[in-house]
Amino acid sequence: GGIADYAIDNETAWIVPQEDAKAIANKVLEVLESPEKVKVISERARALVEDEYDWDKIAKRMQKEVFEPVL
């Protein structure tokens, strides 16, 4: 679904294999040991969400791309 659109490993999120406890533990340690990286990734993620998932922008894009062509 939509998560794949914005969850990019080490850019806007931290992704680990499903049900891999060791990978999860290692990623948690990495996050705890890298506060600057956490800040950068968090800022990127927030900027992406604010830019791409703002409801006003989505509504305008839907109007232009979906509704106007059929009306």
44 contacts 12 by C-beta, under 8 angstroms:
yes
State the pTM of this model: 0.69
The pLDDT tens digits of the residues spanning 24-47 come to 999 999 999 999 999 999 999 999
Which residue, among 60, 62, 19, 12, has the nearest Cα to 37 in the 3D structure? 12
**pLDDT at residue 2 above 90?**
no
Which pLDDT value is given to residue 1? 54
14 contacts 25 by C-beta, under 8 angstroms:
no
Amino acid of residue 42:
S
Query: Exposed, middle or buried: residue 6 (CB in 10 Å: 0-12, 13-18, 19+)?
Result: middle
DSSP classification of residue 63: I
